[in-house]
A and B are shown apart, each in its own frame.
Chain A
Amino acid sequence: MKRKHAIVAICYLMLGVVATLSAGAQATPRIKFEKYKLPNGLEVILHEDHSTPIVAVDTWYHVGSGDEQVGRTGFAHLFEHIMFMGSQNVPVGAFDQMLEAAGADNNGSTTEDRTNYYETLPSNALALALWLDADRMGFLLPTMDLAKVNLQRDVVKNERRQRVDNQPYGRADETILAVLYPKSHPYSWPVIGSMTDLSAASLADVQNFFRTYYAPNNATLTIAGDFDPATVKKMVAQYFGSIPRGPEVKRRLTVPAVTIPRDTFLVLEDKVQLPRVFYTWHSVKGFSPDDAALDILAQVVANDKNSRLYKKLVYELQTAQNVRAFQDGSRLDGKFQIDVTPKPGQKVADIDRVVQAEIANVINNGITQRELQRAQNLYKASFLNRLASVLGKAEVLNSYNYFVGNPDYVQQDAARYDRVTAADVQRVARTYLGRPKIVLTVVPEGKKEMMLTASGGGR
């Protein structure tokens, strides 16, 4: 496990650390990288790390479910599946067979904002990954047919069944999104899409989507690991350089305004033993000024045994089975959510009173320095953990490159969390959790009367 010049540690001062324990002494390392662009617009980011003889190839296409058209929800993700079905020089099935025979792990994923494809493989096989990825970037359509689309349509419908329809509380998310955001908002539908829309996807849709979004000028290729940069640059130029530039992609920069004039109460019946209440507030997009403070607020409110709601509801009163909270800051917009599951026989209205009181307590009285420090230290450790693998580092570079326009941002990102003050957390709690919210109660089938309402409800 030799180390060459993979990571350069840079220290920075931590302000306001209470030094009763040694926490907080660890600086977040910087990732050394080189970034350049091919004439056809493909962005390339290289990061050398020779500690293990493996390399990660991680391609981000700057398209996600937020770019879908009405009536075609789920298409970006369905398309992601189709990208593994072979291309002009790669027969159906050969993509995964060749990679497995070379000892690779590979996969892809789709979010509202972007789609990624990655391979982690022994360093001798880097050329194979580049050849395969170039072929599907440049030459997907010549061998595309409806049979490929139909097959992956069935697979994706089963993915939806497994993650959503056959999953307790699985439909909560799409139910909330449809009410939280206006219909024209790119986050108002789920990434997985609806069964109806998945059924409607056509071969022409695949062709149009490819021509619109899957061009080198709408992608970033990040390679991290054990390679020789001069050799890799030649290979990248050879495999990707002749893929023609596509039309300019107009990336959406704004979203429709979100207005929730008053608390909105929803109910969803599901095959569950216990109800679950989801509170959702419209908040802010990722990396915007209040985003980090909202992340810290989520830690303080739930997620840990000492957090406000967990301690009160699960630990002390023991009226709830579980409670969670998170800030979800995506590229264009964000939401803050708390969900709580009552123990058998407990009324959601009683739980709700505690939730409201604890939120009011944070808004009115703020949080302690210790609460702040715990949340900050968890974030600090998580930054370090993301850098443990070459794929993790490739994802970090791609993510910052896309979301803030600078791959070299891990230290600035970590610093965002160090700068948050207790007063910031109180302020964002007041600002965002003081707003009207969407309240969804998922109830056992036939038990709609269990739902939480403005007047309490929840018999």
Chain B
Amino acid sequence: MKLQTTHVLGCAAMLLASQSIAAQGTFDRSKPPELGPPPRVALPPIITRQLPNGLKLLIVEQHELPLADFVLVVGSGSTADPTGKPGIANLTSQMLREGTTTRKSLEIADQIAFLGINLSPNSSWESSTLSLHTPTAQLDSALALFADVALHPSFPANEFDRIKKTRLTELLQLRDQGPAIANLAFPAIVYGSSHPYGLPSIGTEASVQSLTPADLQAYYQTNFKPNNSTLIIVGDVNPAQIEQKINSLFGSWQRGDVQPLNYGEPAKAAATTIYLIDKPGAAQSSFRIGSVGVPRSTKDYFALTVMNTILGGSFTSRLNQNLRENRGYTYGAGSRFDMRRQAGPFLASAEIVTAKSDSALIEFMKELNGIRQTVPPAELSRAKRYLQLQLPGNFETTQEIAAALVPVALYGLPLDYYNNYVQNIENVNQADVARVAQQYINPGSLAVVIVGDRKTIEQGLKAVNVGPISVRDITGQPIQ
């Protein structure tokens, strides 16, 4: 039951209010306190090592609590799913905990619970990760289990059969959730089926049905290679000792060639179109509005980060202020650039009360147009401060530090990336923000995906007149 509040502006009233009430108590309450300079932040040094087999190590010491985090980042994810078989990377990750050459599924679960650790495999578009969070009292046992799960998965047929049935049921249950339908349909529409970002990383009913343990084994053998991986280590550890332990556990992992991927082309952007997916009786309409965005390697990273913070990246951002705090149409609205190896999507999103779907669309379009105009200096300054001053808070716990290092490992960011972050944000000016907004947000060629109660919202959406309405099924495909 979270949440907050706010309205924007009302400047004249502000001044009056603050002048008329001076001191309550013994000091002048009407003036906010003067703050001293922000603390200088020395982000923890990152120690780098490489094993002879090519496995890179990033080690950060943090001795506050007897805890340690390990993240094995394998540089292949769902984009490496073989053609026609979406879901393999995701299910391969999930199967890591389902049996190794020496441990059965239930034994692995028993040890995880007995050691009081988290051991979580995951996959994203560009990577597969295995994360370990452990009290250091259990370090040796936890690391042995971690290495076994990472290096010796056996993909047992009976376990995979169970995992498949569970996944097929999950795919069925997705139909219950408007937001989940929107999250799958949006990329399918923006990228089309010839680009991996347009395919469902969780698989389709047909692909999941067709997969065999041999498919996962092949995916694993091709991609899980030390020279394609980085191991992030953060916490109450001694770097020299931990390197030795890792060497003894991961040293025999055999290197192998991992071919670079050929991504193909995303679908060509159409003129702005509303893609309407019917969810009869839905209390809210799920809005996903956007287009193909930028890769993580973009030179405009910092300008885009600042621009998006103003548009929809913080509580006081324009989308949230307008749609939530000024109009009450939603519990929260926002936007983001999902940056990957290739250009990931830009999208603005919110869950909107059904009756205000048309009004919300007007406001969304207003903000997506408005951000292309010059941003007032005070708003720019607030966004920059927000990004700069929040940085130390992202390096408080071992888990946070490890998470911050994942993009360093995956996208080859320089080791001093976070040390230069504040200055790089500082360098962004009004002209930069306007330029990237105009370059990357094109109100004339957006995919407006809305999942909601069609009979209630269709006429109103049509009347907003931002583009034609194309009615789609829950996978984003045209309904014949």
Contacts and interface: CB of A to CB of B under 8 A. Distances in A.
Contacts of B17: 88-89, 91, 143
Contacts of A81: 3-5
B1 A111 contact: yes
Task: Determine the main DSSP class of B at the interface with A.
Answer: mixed
Given A22-B138, A123-B39, A274-B172, A93 B316 contact: yes
A124 B114 contact: no
B113 A306 contact: yes
A152 B31 CA distance: 26
Given A93-B8, A127-B33, A242-B26, A166 B21 contact: no
Nearest to A387: B65
Nearest to A377: B116
B50 to A, nearest CB: 25
Interface string B310-338: 00001110000100111111110000000
Contacts of B388: 103
Interface string B422-455: 0000000000000000000000000000000000
Nearest to A374: B113
B5 A152 contact: yes
Nearest to A169: B176
A226 B396 CA distance: 12
Contacts of B392: 52-54, 122
Interface string A369-380: 010011101101
Contacts, number: 306
B422 to A, nearest CB: 11
B83 interface: no
Interface in A345-395: 370, 373-375, 377-378, 380-382, 384-385, 387-390
B21 A88 contact: yes
A23 B1 contact: no
A140 B204 CA distance: 53
B65 A161 contact: no
Interface residues of A, number: 113
Contacts of B147: none
Contacts of A3: 63-64
Given A84-B5, A96-B5, A110-B1, A1 B284 contact: no
Interface in B103-151: 105-106, 109-111, 113-117, 133, 135-138, 140-141
Given A81-B4, A111-B1, A305-B105, A89 B38 contact: no
A325 to B, nearest CB: 15
B94 interface: no
Interface string B58-76: 0001111111000000000
Interface string A298-319: 0000001110000100110010
Interface in B157-184: 162, 165-166, 169-170, 172-173, 175-178
Contact of B386 (A103, A152, A388): A103
B3 A155 contact: yes
A159 B321 CA distance: 16
A1 B65 CA distance: 11
A180 interface: no
Contacts of A109: 1-3
B116 A241 contact: no
Contact of A159 (B26, B63, B331): B331
Contact of A83 (B5, B21, B26, B330): B5
Contacts of B29: 88-89, 131, 134-135, 139
B116 A96 contact: no
Contacts of B412: none
Interface in A171-229: 191-192, 226
Interface in B35-50: 35-41, 44
A382 B118 CA distance: 10
Nearest to B175: A273
Interface in A4-50: 6-7, 9, 21-23, 25-26, 29
B163 to A, nearest CB: 10
A103 B115 CA distance: 37
A158 interface: yes
B381 A101 contact: yes
A408 interface: no
A286 interface: no
Contacts of A153: 328
Nearest to B384: A101
A103 B389 contact: yes
19 contacts: A22-B137, A92-B8, A98-B32, A101-B381, A101-B386, A111-B1, A120-B393, A121-B389, A127-B33, A135-B29, A152-B328, A155-B324, A158-B352, A161-B351, A238-B27, A321-B166, A321-B170, A321-B173, A388-B397
Give the 5 A-B residue pairs with the shortest CB-CB distance, closest first.
A103-B389, A154-B328, A84-B5, A242-B25, A381-B116
